[in-house]
């Protein structure tokens, strides 16, 4: 393993602080490193590998498509992109889809569409966008500007103009920030990187009404919380508030890069040929993978599994909270849960990894749980038992 790490250090740019393991293969919700050590995966590629690993239908469908064609230009119609689009549109409040390759690209597309719509309907000055503090929307220049966390923006100034930030779930502050130049409001229904903070339903309903009144584009960034992660296909369905635009990625194709922006017809019409594009967006392999994921979510019982296992995992985490004073709060929905501690979680995550459990942080003091959507009760028990042991070790060693 050390040889692979040494080789990687020589050639891969230093943008990630990798853990000292080399993951090589997976099956179900388990992974193995290059030395054969087994891990229970509660990370799922950061909410990406919805079907876990080595799903036979997933492999078969992608292989079949690969034997036909892997890619062609968007200058031509592609059957898998049409079929995946039909599934998403038929099971949502949206009318049209644009494909890209990542979450940041999907948010970029939403930003561009919002600006086009604002200028078309309200005039040339209508280009300002409001986002939430503690939000995360991506790493491109536009999306780190949209991100309401200065730690991601440090060293990249000057940032793009036209963005402002308000407190999450604070409607009065948001209303005060809106003016005639506001073209869009972008919200994560559940803030992911910001610490697993769900929106309040009343807040989203008030924002929806405000956007209707002012004809402002309401964008939900569901890159992390969408595609079954909450137990509903779309997170907006959990809150019973329909946005005008949604950005998707991560779990949409179960591990093959894809992004998508969906919009209602009135907003989608702001784009005309030449306004936006993506060479690889909607290619045959990614959309074929997406079809398998969507079919299993909608018809294979996975959404029900997320609701059932998410409730069970949350109960287990609440039990840990009652046991350990270092745990402040358990929050989230479905299989997107956060455990906030009153101490940094970095060492806890590393010791769990040593003991065969992969978890990750969401900020300095929050442990994030985003396992594959196929996880079962026994696997949850196994993971929580490992975490319990590590927390007990911390309690004993540090007198917490």
pLDDT of residue 346: 96
- Orientation angle between helical segments 377-398 and 302-323, nearest 10 degrees: 20
120 is written with which tokens? Answer: 């078309």
Domain 69-299 - what CATH class?
Answer: alpha beta
375 is written with which tokens? Answer: 């996880």
What residues form DSSP beta bridges with 337?
Answer: 332, 369
Q: What is the pLDDT of residues 321-352, one digit of tens each?
A: 999 999 999 999 999 999 999 999 999 999 99
For the entire predicted model, the pTM comes to 0.96
Low-confidence ranges of the chain (pLDDT < 70): 1, 398-400
Greatest pairwise CA separation for the chain in angstroms: 65
Residue 59 contacts by C-beta under 8 Å, 6 or more apart in sequence?
A: none
User: What CA–CA distance (Å, rounded) separates 92 from 364?
Assistant: 35
Q: How far is CA 113 from CA 38, 77, 247, 292, in A?
A: 45, 22, 12, 28
23 is written with which tokens? Answer: 């993951």
pLDDT of residue 394: 85
Q: CATH 3.40.640.10 spans which residues of the chain? A: 69-299
Q: What is the pLDDT of residues 356-379, one digit of tens each?
A: 999 999 999 999 999 999 999 999
pLDDT of residue 375: 98
- Provide DSSP, 276-321: ---SSTT-HHHHHHHHHHHHHHHHSSHHHHHHHHHHHHHHHHHHHH
Q: What is the pLDDT of residues 183-201, one digit of tens each?
A: 999 999 999 999 999 999 9
Residue 28 contacts by C-beta under 8 Å, 6 or more apart in sequence?
A: 52, 53, 54, 372, 374
What residues form DSSP beta bridges with 357?
Answer: 40
Residue 43 contacts by C-beta under 8 Å, 6 or more apart in sequence?
A: 358, 359, 360, 370, 371
User: What CA–CA distance (Å, rounded) separates 64 from 130?
Assistant: 44
Q: CATH 3.90.1150.10 spans which residues of the chain? A: 2-54+301-398
Angle at 186 between CA 181 and CA 190, to 5 degrees: 160
The gap between the terminal CA atoms of the chain, to the nearest Å, is: 35
Residue 23, SS3 per DSSP: strand
If you search the block for the tokens 């549109």, which residue do you land on?
89
- Is the domain defined by 2-54+301-398 classed in CATH 3.10.20.600? no
11 Cα distance to chain centroid: 28
């Amino acid at each position: 393993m050390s040889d692979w790490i040494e080789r990687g250090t020589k050639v891969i740019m230093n943008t990630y602080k990798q853990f000292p393991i080399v993951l090589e293969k997976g099956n179900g919700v388990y992974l193995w490193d290059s030395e054969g050590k087994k891990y229970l995966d509660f990370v799922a590629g950061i909410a990406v590998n919805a079907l876990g690993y080595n799903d036979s239908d997933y492999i078969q469908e992608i292989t079949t498509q690969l034997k036909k064609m892997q890619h062609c230009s968007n200058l031509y119609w592609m059957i898998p992109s049409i079929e995946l689009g039909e599934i998403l549109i038929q099971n949502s409040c949206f009318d049209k889809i644009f494909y890209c390759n990542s979450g940041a690209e999907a948010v970029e597309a939403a930003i561009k569409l919002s600006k086009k719509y604002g200028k078309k309907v309200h005039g040339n000055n209508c280009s300002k966008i409001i986002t939430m503090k503690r939000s995360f929307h991506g790493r491109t220049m536009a999306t780190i500007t949209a991100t309401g966390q200065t730690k991601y923006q440090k060293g990249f100034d000057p940032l793009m103009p036209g963005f402002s930030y308000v407190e999450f779930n604070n409607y009065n502050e948001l209303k005060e920030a809106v003016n005639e130049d506001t073209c869009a409001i972008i919200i994560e229904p559940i803030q992911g990187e910001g610490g697993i903070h769900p929106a309040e339903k009343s807040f989203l309903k008030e924002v929806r009404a405000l956007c209707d009144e002012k004809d402002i584009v309401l964008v939900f960034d569901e890159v992390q919380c969408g595609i079954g992660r909450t137990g509903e296909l779309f997170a907006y369905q959990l809150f019973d508030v329909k946005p005008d635009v949604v950005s998707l990625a991560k779990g949409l194709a179960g591990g093959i890069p894809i992004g998508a922006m969906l919009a209602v017809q009135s907003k989608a019409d702001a784009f005309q040929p030449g306004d936006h594009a993506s060479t690889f967006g909607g290619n045959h392999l990614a959309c074929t993978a997406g079809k398998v994921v969507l079919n299993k979510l909608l018809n294979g019982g996975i959404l029900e599994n997320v609701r059932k296992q998410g409730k069970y995992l949350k109960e287990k985490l609440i039990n840990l909270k009652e046991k350990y004073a270092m745990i402040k709060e358990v929050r989230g929905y479905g299989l997107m849960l956060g455990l906030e501690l009153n101490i940094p979680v970095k060492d806890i995550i590393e010791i769990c990894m040593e003991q065969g459990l992969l978890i990750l942080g969401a900020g300095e003091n929050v442990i994030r749980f985003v396992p594959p959507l196929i996880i079962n009760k026994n696997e949850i028990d196994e993971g929580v038992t490992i975490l319990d042991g590590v927390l007990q070790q911390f309690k004993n060693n540090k007198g917490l």
